Amino acid sequence: MIPLTGQDMIYYLAIIAAIGLAVYFLLETSRRPKEPETETKELLKCIKCGYTIEKEYSVGDFIGLVKDKCPKCGSPLKIIAIYDVVKKTPEKTLKPPKQYT
Amino acid sequence: MPEDNWSLILQIFWIIFFIMIFTGANQRIQMKLWSIDIRNKLNMIRRYVEEDKERVSNFMRNLGLRNPELVLKKTLDFFTIEPVTIEPTDIIKRMDHLIRTSDKSFREIVKKALPSLGRYERSLIETGLSIVSAIYMVYKVVRHYLLTGEKENNWILLMQLELLMPQILKIVTAYHKALDAFTTGKPVGDGIGPLIAYRLIEEGEVVSKRVIDETSIYEVKLANRRFFIIKAEGPGSNVGHPGRVLADLVDQLNGNVDLIITIDAALKLEGEDTGEIAEGVGAAIGDPGPEKIAIERAASKYNIPLRALIVKMGLPEAIQTMRKEIYEAGEIAVEYVKKLVDRLTSENSTIIVAGIGNTMGVPL
């Protein structure tokens, strides 16, 4: 086996650095920011007491539709808005297992 | 490795390099790489077209149409030729006529295919077909330039296309995702103007209501003032003709209007926040011209102050299901309008408020 000279080392390092840079730029340009997942919700408001509640959207619902009853006063609830919200991902907690608490 | 070998490799490298520079082979390699990348992105757009065609076909099939492919074929290639611009006389009148004829013809195709269907469902189909048609048009244009660039070895054309592709893909993806809202009838971001108008109608005491040219006019008593609130007739996918209706209303009132406020969604600049509210002067309406000029002419004819309120958002947010931030901005804008009216007019004044945009999912 022929031992590597200092110049060989420089050439090899230059080639490795060039390949590394090319891969880095390729990954950097192809990486796209991931769009957050959304879900549709509807906001219901009590006609009488003004109590508001956010619920899952059901197909066919529209703004102004009167549906469900107010959990506070029993009056009808009216849909005042339909909108998309970013889906909440379950947070990773670092809580210790139950047996240690 | 012996030093001689390295020097040989380097020499061969430089010879190849110079041959490529002088013969233009490097450009050909670059062109091929661009071409492959554009083709991949074009395939993505083609998949969107196929997927959306299938979704709209299924939507029509579920509503009772046996052969939706015929309607799709007719509407996909539907076009409107722009009016002559080198002779500007009557251009607004001609443009308005062409837009109305185009809308009417498009609607007639759907109406003929599904005569028993209600206006609401038909409006959703029309918008769904318009979305597929728009994506298909982009697909055809990109394909045309790609094939022309390859055929004529036009590297400038390919380079421009390659640089534009991410932006084109972003717009196409936004349209593709918008189809969900338009096939389910959910309010879209652009509907913030009609939503604010709806909220003002709800808060006031309705005196009268009429619908002209697919546009609702509500006379409302609010804050000891006489309000005329204009919005596209909902809850279908409809933008109405708020400009023309507003101009006619001002004429009917003999110009006795103290303030005109137009409210619309506006495209934000990069770096601006979604849901930002801005106040300004002028007609906030994004039509090709006829509606906007009608508002400007009516306001200037009777010297009526013309104010504009915009809610900022990106293109995807404007055509997709309304985001919560936009709805919340709408709530703030309702209060903003009331404060603006309080500041600029006295009691017993007459005010016209026009909520501009697609009223899908917003009733009245």
d(CA B46, nearest CA chain A) in Å: 20
Residue type, B245: V
β-partners of residue B47 are none
Q: Mind listing the pLDDT tens digit of every residue in chain B (364 residues)?
A: 566 777 888 889 899 988 888 888 888 888 899 999 999 999 999 999 999 999 999 988 888 888 888 888 888 888 889 899 888 888 898 998 998 998 888 888 888 888 888 888 888 889 999 999 999 999 999 999 999 999 998 989 999 999 999 999 999 999 999 998 888 889 999 999 999 999 999 999 999 999 998 999 999 999 899 999 999 997 888 899 999 999 999 999 999 999 999 999 999 998 999 999 999 999 999 888 899 999 999 999 999 999 999 999 999 999 999 999 999 999 999 999 999 999 999 999 999 999 999 999 888 8
Cβ contact, residue pair B186, A85, below 8 Å:
no
Q: Closest-CA residue in chain B for A12?
A: B1
Average pLDDT over residues A42-46: 90
Residue A32 pLDDT > 90, yes or no? no
Chain B residues touching A81 at Cβ < 8 A? 187, 195, 322, 327
Kindly list the residues from chain B whose CB atom is less than 8 angstroms away from the CB atom of residue A29: none
| Interchain CB contact of B270 with A (< 8 Å) | no
Tokens of B335: 């209060």
The pLDDT tens digits for B41-66 are 999 999 999 999 999 999 888 888 88
> What is the band of A72 on the pLDDT scale with cuts at 50, 70, 90?
confident
Q: What is the pLDDT of residue B115?
A: 84
Instruction: Assess B198–A contact: CB distance below 8 Å, yes or no.
Output: yes
Return the DSSP state at B356: -
Query: What residues of B are in contact with residue A63 (Cβ under 8 Å)?
Result: 187, 195, 198, 235, 361-363
Q: If we measure between CA atoms, which residue out of B266, B272, B35, B64 comes closest to residue B159?
A: B35
Within 13 Å, how many C-alpha atoms sit on residue B78's CB side?
25
Task: Determine the length of chain B.
Answer: 364
Q: In the block, which residue shows the tokens 């003004």?
A: A50
pLDDT at residue B254, as a whole number: 92
Chain B nearest-CA distance from A89, in A, is 17
Say if the Cβ atoms of A83 and B323 lie within 8 Å.
yes
Q: In the prediction, which pLDDT does B337 show?
A: 93
> Which tokens is B180 given?
């969900």
Residue A1 predicted with pLDDT over 70: no
Q: Is the pLDDT of residue A64 over 90?
A: no
Two tokens, residue B235: 């809850």
CB B53 within 8 A of CB B73: no
- Tell me: cis bond preceding B235? Omega within 30 of 0 counts: yes
Question: Mind giving me the DSSP string for A39-80?
Answer: EEEEEEEETTT--EEEEE--TT--TT-EEEE-TTT-PEEEEE
Tally the residues of chain A: 101
pLDDT at B145 (0 to 100): 95
- Give the best residue of A82, A86, A87 to mutate against chain B (max B CB count within 10 A): A82
C-alpha distance from residue B116 to each of B18, B61, B120, B129, B321 (Å): 72, 14, 12, 18, 28
Q: Which residues contact B316 (CB under 8 A, 6 or more apart)?
A: B170, B173, B174, B177, B178
A62 within 8 A of A82, measured Cβ to Cβ: yes
* Long-range contacts of A84-90, Cβ-Cβ distance < 8 Å, separation of 24 or more: A84/A38, A84/A39, A84/A40, A84/A41, A84/B320, A84/B321, A84/B322, A84/B323, A84/B324, A85/A38, A85/A39, A85/A40, A85/A41, A85/B323, A85/B324, A86/A36, A86/A37, A86/A38, A87/A36, A87/A37, A87/A38, A87/A39
Q: B297, B186, B172: which is closest to A62 by C-alpha?
A: B186
